[in-house]
Structure 1
Amino acid sequence: MSIFDTVNRLRVIRPHQEINNGDPGRRIFTHCTMVCGPQSGRTTRQNDEFPRTQMQRQGLRFSKPRHYGVSPGPRLQPESHRPENLRPPEPFQNQTTAARLVRGDGPGTRPLAGTRRRRPQLHQDAVAMSILDAEVFDFLTDLQINNNRPWFEDNRDRYRSVAATFEQFIGGLINNIARFDPDIGRLQPRQCIFRIYRDTRFSKDKTPYKTSLGAHLLAGGRSHEANHAGYYLKIAPGGSLLAGGAYLPPGSWLGPIRQAICDNPAAFKKIIAQKSFKNYFGTIEGEKLKTAPRGFAKDHPEIELLRYKSFLAVHNLDDEQVTDAGFMGHTTRVFRALQPFAAFLNAAAP
């Protein structure tokens, strides 16, 4: 092959000329002048000069590609031409900032692990309604005499007022208990309060309404009563009380409680021997077996504790205590004394 044939097979492609000409072997470079082979598709030198050198010698400008020296990526458009879905969001009042993300109070956020968590004040309006006045006992006394649906419907407004007062009281009590039992602070009053309507399907007593107000404050709400100890409150004329513990727990919980007492009797005895516990509750209460429970010897040194079928601490109240202005503080102190006892039982829960 002569030198003339070689020259004819090579062609210098300039930016203003046709690039491909239907030949798939040629590469397309619009930003520089180069010599391309028809088949190889690779840039070649002519007269030992690269295309850039040839352009400089001919007085042509060698323009670099727009992406020269920049990592590949989509080219950003000016703000005014950017599609709406690609523009940064406008500031708004509920935007999740870094500080709110740490606190966990932004929309759809939770507190970050290892950060300080402030106890939420869920029931701040309960402070002004922390007294159970005589209206509560008047309504319950009248309900004992007129426990029927027609009378209740005629006095439904009275019931709503009493129920609102009791709900506000429970809200304030939740705030107070959360200071020494943080799990209680996550509750809402309605998760704790019992309905006033009785289930009469399997009872000989067909009166439709309870003649007392009650609430049970425990982690997770009343749905966990079967295997969790909490703080129980009952308000009834002549029968109010504060209590807590495990009432006839199922075998899956009763067995571990007995085993925990057997394994560490000193810790359990220390709890029920504390001065505050004895002042408010005296001793623990509950039904007992007549003999040793299965799996324990009759002469076991802790047999008197192991025979319990229920482990309860009860503090009875009179009506004057309930309507007193200091009843909220008294209730809080009683439940604070109850907390170690409940914690011991909950540690054995399945």
Structure 2
Amino acid sequence: MTYEKMFNYLSALEQNNHQEWFHETKQERMKAVAEFNQLVAALSQQLHEKDPEIPLVPAKKLTFKLNRDTRFSHDKSPYNPVFRAHIGPNGKAPIPCGYFIFLKPNNQSFLGGGLFADMFSEATDLIRQALIEHETEFLTIIEKKEFKKYYHVMGKQLKRMPRGYEAYADSPIAEYLKFKNMYLELHISDQEILTSDDFVQETVEKFLLTKEFNHFLNSALKDFHFPERK
């Protein structure tokens, strides 16, 4: 499997980010999208075999559109020159957590896991409670040698202990209790992707290093409910 069509198209879109060019190059876009869907399908198949929480669903249900929501952004460019997919237990929904792939030219690609969304206060509270109740389990996961070789916990973090958690200020998990969300990122270069002998297999191996981390968060979030839209 090769990925030149994806990267060539995304590079061109970044330089021609307007509706006229987008529609004029539909044929090239469809070829690039098809290439990405093929990659996502292959990743999904192998992850399903290694992680029983991942169902087999069509790649189109795991990927995100190129269109940008510009309503609240100073950047009015209509398209996001990125191919993205979240391969999770509930497809591309951010909860439960799964495996995230973000492909962008100029060495801006990464693989990820965990919870990227930081706007769900209920999710934050559930994760914090799980950290307190299962401190040793969490620290064991993130301190594993192979995990630490590639990943470290990231997220939007408070400067001080959150209200109600001051008693844990000296705990080994104190810094993690400050996070509003918790995710992992492994940056990968264009060359790593374009010259790999088996990018799918290499990616699955890196993804599976985040499996226990994802499962920890998903256990914490099992009773989470998305807020109702008004």
Q: Which has the higher helix share?
A: 2
State the aligned residue count. 217
Calculate the aligned-residue CA RMSD, in Å. Answer: 1.4
Q: Does residue 304 of structure 1 match 2:175?
A: yes
* Paired position in structure 2 for 1:291: 160
Q: Does residue 235 of structure 1 match 2:103?
A: yes
Cα pair distance change 1:136/1:179, threshold 3 Å: same
* Paired position in structure 2 for 1:136: 6
Q: Does residue 272 of structure 1 match 2:152?
A: no
- How far residue 251 of structure 1 moved from its aligned partner, in angstroms, is 1.6
Could you tell me whether the CA contact under 8 Å between 2:90 and 2:96 is conserved in 1? no
Q: Map of 1:128-207 to 2, 5 A cutoff?
A: 131-207=1-77
Could you tell me whether the CA contact under 8 Å between 1:132 and 1:166 is conserved in 2? no
Q: Which runs of 5+ in 2 are unaligned?
A: 224-230
Per-residue deviation, residues 261-282 of structure 1 (Å, max 9, x unmatched): 111211000100112211221x
Could you tell me whether the CA contact under 8 Å between 1:187 and 1:220 is conserved in 2? no
Which of these residues, 171, 188, 200, is aligned with residue 328 of structure 1?
200
Per-residue deviation, residues 33-88 of structure 1 (Å, max 9, x unmatched): xxxxxxxxxxxxxxxxxxxxxxxxxxxxxxxxxxxxxxxxxxxxxxxxxxxxxxxx
- How far residue 243 of structure 1 moved from its aligned partner, in angstroms, is 0.5
What is the distance in 2 between the residues matched to 1:263 and 1:162?
46
* Paired position in structure 2 for 1:255: 125
Could you tell me whether the CA contact under 8 Å between 1:287 and 1:310 is conserved in 2? yes
Q: What is the TM-score of this pair, normalised by structure 2? A: 0.90
State, as a whole percentage, how many aligned pairs show the same letter. 29
Q: Secondary structure at the match of 2:29?
A: helix
The higher radius of gyration belongs to 1
- How far residue 186 of structure 1 moved from its aligned partner, in angstroms, is 2.7
- How far residue 160 of structure 1 moved from its aligned partner, in angstroms, is 0.3
- How far residue 133 of structure 1 moved from its aligned partner, in angstroms, is 2.1
Q: Secondary structure at the match of 1:203?
A: coil
* Paired position in structure 2 for 1:337: 209
Q: Which runs of 5+ in 1 are unaligned?
A: 1-130
Q: Secondary structure at the match of 2:185?
A: strand
Cα pair distance change 1:249/1:201, threshold 3 Å: closer
Per-residue deviation, residues 177-219 of structure 1 (Å, max 9, x unmatched): 0122123233221111001111222222111111110001111
What is the distance in 2 between the residues matched to 1:267 and 1:285?
18
Could you tell me whether the CA contact under 8 Å between 2:63 and 2:85 is conserved in 1? yes
- How far residue 148 of structure 1 moved from its aligned partner, in angstroms, is 0.9
- The residue type paired with residue 336 of structure 1 is L
- How far residue 249 of structure 1 moved from its aligned partner, in angstroms, is 5.2
What is the distance in 1 between the residues matched to 2:150 and 2:58?
27
What is the distance in 1 between the residues matched to 2:165 and 2:3?
50
What is the distance in 2 between the residues matched to 1:275 and 1:258?
24
Per-residue deviation, residues 140-177 of structure 1 (Å, max 9, x unmatched): 11111111111112211000000001101111101110
- The residue type paired with residue 316 of structure 1 is H
- The residue type paired with residue 253 of structure 1 is A
What is the distance in 1 between the residues matched to 2:153 and 2:109?
18
What is the distance in 2 between the residues matched to 1:259 and 1:188?
35
What is the distance in 2 between the residues matched to 1:279 and 1:292?
28
Could you tell me whether the CA contact under 8 Å between 2:63 and 2:86 is conserved in 1? yes
Higher relative contact order (Cα pairs below 8 Å, separated by 6+ residues): 2
Q: What is the TM-score of this pair, normalised by structure 1? A: 0.60
Q: Secondary structure at the match of 1:184?
A: coil
